[in-house]
Structure 1
């Protein structure tokens, strides 16, 4: 299983972005983690693997539950931040679809939004199943489609400015993509050989500020950031103007943005 063009694009997009991610989108992505650990049955003594740990949120909480935690990420800056955040964990540089672990090494494996960033989601899940012992739990989250209103704010600003996705940012190959619905994600886990699959939707209001929310794309974080920062300066100004206008729909008290989000959470047995 060689890396795809999508994987290579993701590596470039996230290179050096750990600090900017921590200051913008990390708090949003942290929300599902307690539920993710619950459905993976992460508790004291459980050998758990956190794949795509990012800044280490799941690793920290799993350590707090008394689990034996190993965490990996494909970006060295994320590994450094996660290792500082979770000193009790074994944090390593590694990327799907090839993990440096033996078969059946873990009791539970979690991937918080990691499937959004791999070029071959089925093969990635098959690899998670390989390193999880028979009967162990695997739990993942992805962003659903269509996006919730708050999640669509940044994309709406880009669209209103007349900007389309640049050609240098590849989408998943059609044969590797899957429906970002409860049924679609559940089917993906089943195709990877998991049993007793359950998938549901988490909804929540993410509270942030316009400045914090804009800082991610302005720094080039994630696909939306790659789209924004690849534009000429005048177009970026135009996107920001539309962003400021659209923020009015989500204005809360004292300058807070209240952004409705939704994510799919699925788990199954290896």
Structure 2
């Protein structure tokens, strides 16, 4: 199946940004890992595939549980980084919706926020289900919409500067999108032929600093980073000023930012 314009944009956006991601947003994205692995029933001896492994936090945690772990990512830099993070895992380069594994090869398949970065979420979920053995578990996370207050911070700064999404960053096609709610995410898994589907919301406060949080978009990490770095230096400085002002809503006396976040954690059986 051909990659969509959204897929191609994602590949360009993440190219060469593994280290910048590791230094900025990776800690945030690692928070749901224990719940994700629990939802997938990951324990000693279980054959696990981590799709969209990024810096390898899920793969490493699964290895610590004694699982037999394979992991894939579409970005070569992430594969290198994940192989260092999870040296006991079999880490490979692969891109959804086609994975280089046989039908039913794994007892559990997990994807931590990977569905945020694919142009055909339903097709991606069907592929996760294909490589999960019958009766095995598939577990995935996405960011909810509307976003939690901490997650919305950077977007508010961009909006305050009067910046909109550039034309060269295509949004997900409307027919491929889905409601980013518990009900909407659960329905997506059911559409992908998973059974016994369940979805819950995980909430937490992410602790960071304004410098660390700004470093991600300043380096072009994720869609927000692509929006920021597409601007002129003058506009980037204006976004940064708005960001620093908005941080006052979340900063503790010691300078630490306390950013409320939420994620949807869903699972079903193949």
Q: Shorter-chain TM-score category?
A: over 0.9
The 5 Å alignment of 1:246-261 reads 246-261=246-261
Deviation at 1:164, TM superposition (A): 0.4
> Where does the alignment leave 5 or more consecutive residues of structure 2 unmatched?
none
Which secondary structure does the structure 1 equivalent of 2:148 belong to? coil
What is aligned with 1:267? 267
Deviation at 1:254, TM superposition (A): 1.1
1:240 maps to 2:253? no
Which secondary structure does the structure 2 equivalent of 1:151 belong to? helix
Deviation at 1:29, TM superposition (A): 0.1
Distance (whole Å) between structure 2 residues aligned to residue 52 and residue 83 of structure 1: 13
Distance (whole Å) between structure 2 residues aligned to residue 151 and residue 175 of structure 1: 25
CA deviation string 1:92-136 (max 9, x = no partner): 000100000000000000000000000000000000000000000
The 5 Å alignment of 1:178-197 reads 178-197=178-197
1:176 maps to 2:176? yes
What is aligned with 1:222? 222
Give the length in aligned residue pairs.
Answer: 270
What is aligned with 1:130? 130
The 5 Å alignment of 1:109-128 reads 109-128=109-128
> Where does the alignment leave 5 or more consecutive residues of structure 1 unmatched?
none
Distance (whole Å) between structure 1 residues aligned to residue 166 and residue 44 of structure 2: 46
Moved over 3 A (4+): none
Distance (whole Å) between structure 2 residues aligned to residue 115 and residue 231 of structure 1: 27
Distance (whole Å) between structure 2 residues aligned to residue 108 and residue 151 of structure 1: 29
CA deviation string 1:58-107 (max 9, x = no partner): 00000000000000000000000100111110000001000000000000
Deviation at 1:253, TM superposition (A): 3.3
Deviation at 1:252, TM superposition (A): 1.3
1:9 maps to 2:19? no
Distance (whole Å) between structure 2 residues aligned to residue 24 and residue 49 of structure 1: 25
What is aligned with 2:101? 101
